[in-house]
């Protein structure tokens, strides 16, 4: 792990309450340090040709633009009172999908911080966790568009609903809400 990531993590750990401290550590463990794994990914996330939906799809929905959809591949409880949300944004159209700031809601830049969960039973909304610098614990540094006939895999870490809540709605800005998504 490089020095700047360590410094950010130490600051975040010092300022967050105990559950959030565990969330930062778990995020690093679950997703690793992206710049070390693939330096080019910070400026140009990998995009691959669109294929048939993976068998691990938990829920899917269409976007506001024709030919664009999202597939949730994981919504899983994690340590520290958090959940990991992994999903794929798919552009099957013949035109690039201009994301711009469509998905970001709490942070700066091209990210998925605008994604949130809704627990209808308890009437509660769960937003992406932010670190001490107000940066999301989510896919960040994304390109402003998804190329035609391609897909990108993204993730976000959110506070977990109470243990008795077994399903929630997953809300991705500019996509139809996905209701009753099971939490594993």
What are the E-state strand segments in the chain? 48-49, 59-62, 68-78, 82-91, 97-98, 116-119, 124-127, 145-146, 150-159, 167-171, 178-182
Give the pLDDT confidence of 111-149 residue by residue, as tens digits.
899 999 999 999 999 999 999 988 899 998 888 889 999
The strand pairing partners of 153, in sequence order, are 88
pLDDT at 184: 94
pLDDT at 31: 40
pLDDT at 24: 41
Contact 72, 87 (CB under 8 A): yes
pLDDT at 102: 65
Tell me which residues of the chain have a pLDDT lower than 50: 1, 3, 5-53
Class of the CATH-defined domain 3-182: mainly beta
pLDDT at 101: 58
| Domain regions of the chain by residue span | 3-182
pLDDT at 107: 53
pLDDT at 163: 95
pLDDT at 21: 41
pLDDT at 104: 72
Q: Which residues contact 137 (CB under 8 A, 6 or more apart)?
A: 23, 24, 27, 128, 129, 130, 131, 156, 157
Residue positions counted in the chain: 184
Phi, psi dihedral angles at 18 (to 5 degrees): -50, -45
Start-to-end CA distance of the chain, whole Å, equals: 29
């Amino acid at each position: 792990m490089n020095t700047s990531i360590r410094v950010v993590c130490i600051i975040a750990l010092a300022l967050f309450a105990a559950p959030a401290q565990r969330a930062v550590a778990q995020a690093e463990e679950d997703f690793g340090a992206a710049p070390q794994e693939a330096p080019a990914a910070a400026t140009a996330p990998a995009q691959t040709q669109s294929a048939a939906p993976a068998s691990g799809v938990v829920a899917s929905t269409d976007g506001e633009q024709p030919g664009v959809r999202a597939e949730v591949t994981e919504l899983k409880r994690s340590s520290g009172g958090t959940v990991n949300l992994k999903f794929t944004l798919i552009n099957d159209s013949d035109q690039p999908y201009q994301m711009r700031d469509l998905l970001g809601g709490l942070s700066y830049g091209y990210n998925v911080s605008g994604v949130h969960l809704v627990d209808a039973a308890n009437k509660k909304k769960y937003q992406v966790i932010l670190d001490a610098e107000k940066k999301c614990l989510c896919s960040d540094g994304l390109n402003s568009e998804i190329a035609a006939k391609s897909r990108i895999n993204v993730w976000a870490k959110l506070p977990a609903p109470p243990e008795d809540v077994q399903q929630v709605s997953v809300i991705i800005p500019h996509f139809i809400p996905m209701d009753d998504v099971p939490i594993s």
